[in-house]
Amino acid sequence: MMRFLLRRLGHAAFLLIGVSVLAFFFSALAPGNYFDEMRLNPQMSAERLRALRAEYQVDRPMAVRYIRWVGAVVHGNLGFSFAYNTPVAPLLWARARNTLLLTGTATLLVWMLALPLGVWSAERLGRPADVTLSWATAVLLIVPDLALSLGLLVLAVRSGWLPTGGMVSVGFEGFSAAHKLRDVASHMVLPVTALVASALPISLRHVRAAVAEALEAPFLRAAEGHGISRRRLLYRYALPAAAHPLIALFGFSIGTLLSGSLLVEVVMSWPGLGPFLLEAILARDLYVVIGGVLLSTLFLVAGNFVADLLLYWADPRIRAETTGR
């Protein structure tokens, strides 16, 4: 167990270091920096600009900047934002919280819908109900989240049923606790719907395929012959047997908690990581971009790690394989 854990952790560390080097490498290819725009400002003298560049060390070579940045990471502040003039980590965290609220809810909903629907559909494989559901998921699969969220937005704006954009209404600070909760929840409806609609078909199809395959297995026919109830058969026998690919997929959906909602956030102007990062990209606020990329990679890696652990726990074959070595 320890060896398995250590190997996975080492792998994760390698990936994170690699990604940070890659991000720095791309940044070194970049023409210009945050202070270039200031050259157009007549109140900025050339000396002042040079002083600023020196102060923020953008004039140093890449290797030096990288080492200093690693030092900042070790201190837990992920470098310095030029635009906000503060360390990056608190900025990112404030935005990441909002993103996690959104994507956490959406992911939970996706799996709560995908598991029963997928099992239900696999049980009726090829019958009208299953075919209808397959068509519905195919349609959802084709319409990308950009078109979906814009369409939802148009609908909401024209009907006026739901608030569009942002996370809270004007005057949020003065609301009572229950009112605050209701307000945020009503703002979440649209983005969460868009996220669920774009992620559900993939999970649903995987659940359906995996359970359908498990249902074909001889041991299930035997269990059926023993007269075990249909419900127990589906959820206690077929679903665990089908769990392997689903756990991997679950790990992936944990991994994309920070990166999956980027576009939806921008479209719905949810104050999460997406719009923040886009702004940073447009302003060439280098360390914010690198910090964002690193943070979301951290989530991806952590998601994979969680999936590995779950698989280790759920699948005796993997346990045997890793301890046998």
Partner 1 sequence: MSTRTRLLVCVAVLGALHLCVACAGFFAPYDPAAQDREHPYAPPARLHFVDAQGGLHLRPFFYAQMLRAGSFDIYEEDRTKATPVTFFVSGAPYTVLGVLPLRTHLFGGGDTPVYLLGTDGYGRDQFSRVLFGGQVSLLAGLIGAGLTLSIGLCVGAAAGFWGGWKDEALMRVAELFLALPWIYLLFAVRAFLPLAVPPLKAFLLVVAVIGAVGWARPARMVRGIVLSAKERDFVRAARGFGAPGGYLLRRHILPETAGVLLTQAAILVPQFVLAEMTLSFLGLGVPEPMPSWGNLLASLQHYNVLVSYWWMYLPALAMVPFFLGYLALASLLQGSAVEYKIEGASSGV
- The total of other beta-carbon atoms located within 10 Å of residue 108's CB is 13
Please tell me the chain's helix, strand, coil percentages from 3-state DSSP, rounded to the nearest 5: 80, 0, 20
H or E element, residue 180: helix 177-215
Touching partner 1, residues 259-318 (CB under 8 A): 259-260, 262-263, 266-267, 277-278, 280-282, 284, 289-290, 292-293, 296-297, 300-301
Per-position b or e across 163-192, b if 16+ CB within 10 A of its CB: bbeebeeeeeeeeeeeeeeebbeebbebbb
Longest dimension (CA), the chain: 87
Of 64-72, 103-111, 115-123, 145-153: span binding partner 1 (CB under 8 A) = 145-153
Q: What are phi and psi of 80, to 5 degrees?
A: -125, 130
CA distance 89 to 75: 10
Binding mask 237-256 for partner 1 (x = CB under 8 A): -------------------x
Touching partner 1, residues 152-171 (CB under 8 A): 153-154, 157-158, 164-165
Residue of 6, 51, 129, 138 interacting with partner 1 (CB under 8 A): 138
Return the number of the residue (64 or 147) whose C-beta is nearest partner 1.
147
Question: Which residue spans within the chain are E strands per DSSP?
Answer: none
Residue 325 C-beta: closest distance to partner 1, Å:
19
Report the interface residues with partner 1, using CB under 8 A.
Answer: 14-15, 18-19, 22-23, 26-27, 29-32, 138, 141-144, 146-147, 150-151, 153-154, 157-158, 164-165, 256, 258-260, 262-263, 266-267, 277-278, 280-282, 284, 289-290, 292-293, 296-297, 300-301
